[in-house]
Chain A
Amino acid sequence: MTEQTQTTACDKPDLLKVDDVTLQYKTPQHLVTATYKVGFTVQESERYVILGPSGCGKSTLLKAVGGFMAPVSGTISIHGKSISAPGPDRMMVFQEFEQLMPWKTVLQNVEFPMRATKKFGRAESRQRALSMIDRVKLGKFRDAYPHMLSGGMKMRVALARAMAFEPSMLLMDEPFAALDALTRREMQEELLGLWEQFRFTVLFVTHSIEEAILVGSRILVLSPHPGRVRAELDASRLGFGEVDSAEFGALTKRIHGLLFGQKLEAVAKGI
């Protein structure tokens, strides 16, 4: 098992259940099948990573969980209830920096979901926002507008905004892909630090094997387009301390093999 500490609710530990989900895009010219019969379950407090080559339908899958897209077949349910529309119980964090509202300050941005959904009162929203902004080390910038922030800082705001709301589940679509390598590493550590503190559930999409192992406690590997389940692996033992360990290297190699097949792996070894 991954996290023994949190499995008190043994009777229903499954938070998200994705069952045989096929997702398609209909364009005027084509019908594109993004994923085909994908199924997995995410448990409470799990860091669940979806990993796959570009174009395999990871973002599409996340959009469907977010409620922005209905499956052609199969069901997606959260807390046993089937998903029909976007909702604040599933907070999305995107890769793009435009997800922040440029007309609001950092503080107003973080407060916005709490106020717009009326989940928290005015004073409580303010207080939660302030403490989360401090937590992501942006206290000095809380009255700055997003255009005055660097990319990494904007990402921190987006993270703080989602976290302060305390959703049932955090949906993150390659949130750190647009950052430079140093900032990305910093943000990964930040995310893990926050997780240690709050033990939230996160569904995290990436196409970096290393990021998947570092961030994830469980990794779903998808096949190339159309996305189908290739494997589900456990990575809960591997974190930043184990980057240079043999186990880390072995898992990396194994995932590499799963993603690109034996042939390519042989080529990679040859070089």
Chain B
Amino acid sequence: MSGASLDTRTPQSRAPQPRPEFEREPIDASGVGDVERPLGFVERLTNNDAVRRLAILLVLGLIWELYARWIDNPLILPTLGATLTTFFGDLMNGVLIDRVATSLRSLLLGYFSGIFLAALFTTVAVSTRIGSDVLATLTAMFNPVPAIALLPLALIWFGLGTPSLVFVIVHSVLWAVALNTLTGFRSVPETLRMSGRNYGLQGIRYVALILIPAAFPSILTGLKIGWAFAWRTLIAAELVFGVSSRSGGLGWYIFEARSELETDRVFAGLLAVILIGLIVEAVIFRFIERRTVLRWGMQR
């Protein structure tokens, strides 16, 4: 483009000036350098979601510390320092690790059973019409039921202990994952389905090689929602179990601290709840996302 013609143009003459035509060889483009180049360290750091979230966390922690010192009432709001001291103390003496491990054990058991059942349900639902009707009805019925509302029933059926916990966790995971997976399967583009069948893929191979990867963004969303539901449900359920349970999860740790008016320990327990939630969300799921849907350009 030539900039010269712009200078000679006055506001009065709106008609474009006649300009000579030209042809030329394109300029040498080898100066562009690499088409791809690794980003600089700082750029990469600020691009990293985990790092950005950590920075926000630090600011929130600072506000907490200052406010707690200002109201100066450890029974209502202990300082961040005191909370962290208790937190690391309990971490070192193994109490907290024990509690977290107990919680995670029921959680993972429930989570993966829920996913397994969801996979079973959706497989039936995509292959038969009656199956899809059954799943639609069940999901519509049970999805709005808070898992914790089923806890009394679970206690009657399974008594106090892990089976009851697993039952309510399965309930909280199953419908979210099944619903999202089925929605994902349904929205796989027709051309992609047809090319899959064109290669003679059928049954489980068709589901595994075409439907699941094509619906992966939805499935991942389902897994994330399911995880959040499950974690919440578990802590709540452990709190309700409270006094009578010896199962001793993270919820029980918080409950115990409250009954002994150790507010800093309550906060330490909550901190553990938050930290685990954050790690799973910001590290594990983020990692999966980066390796899959983001890399494939299926999600931005």
Contact = CB atoms under 8 A, between A and B. Distances in A.
Contacts of A195: none
Given A102-B298, A103-B298, A147-B296, A113 B199 contact: yes
Interface residues of A, number: 23
Contacts of A101: 192, 210, 213-214
Contact of A87 (B194, B200, B209): B200
Given A112-B199, A145-B296, A103 B191 contact: no
Interface string B278-300: 00000000000000100111100
Contacts, number: 62
Contact of A145 (B205, B209, B210, B295): B295
B191 A98 contact: yes
A116 B191 contact: no
Interface residues of B, number: 21
A86 interface: yes
Interface in A92-123: 92, 94, 96, 98-99, 101-103, 112-113, 116-117
B296 to A, nearest CB: 5
Interface in B175-194: 189, 191-192, 194
Nearest to A92: B198
A154 to B, nearest CB: 12
A52 interface: no
B199 A116 contact: yes
B52 interface: no
Nearest to A91: B198
Given A94-B195, A99-B194, A102-B297, 11 more contacts: A90-B198, A91-B198, A92-B194, A92-B195, A94-B194, A98-B192, A99-B195, A101-B213, A102-B214, A117-B200, A146-B297
7 contacts: A68-B194, A96-B189, A101-B210, A102-B214, A145-B297, A147-B297, A147-B298
A91 B123 CA distance: 27
A94 B190 CA distance: 11
Contact of A103 (B189, B197, B296): B296
A116 B296 contact: no
Contacts of A103: 213-214, 216, 292, 296, 298
Given A94-B191, A101-B192, A116-B209, A66 B198 contact: yes
B201 interface: yes
Contacts of B199: 88, 112-113, 116-117
Interface string B109-152: 00000000000000000000000000000000000000000000
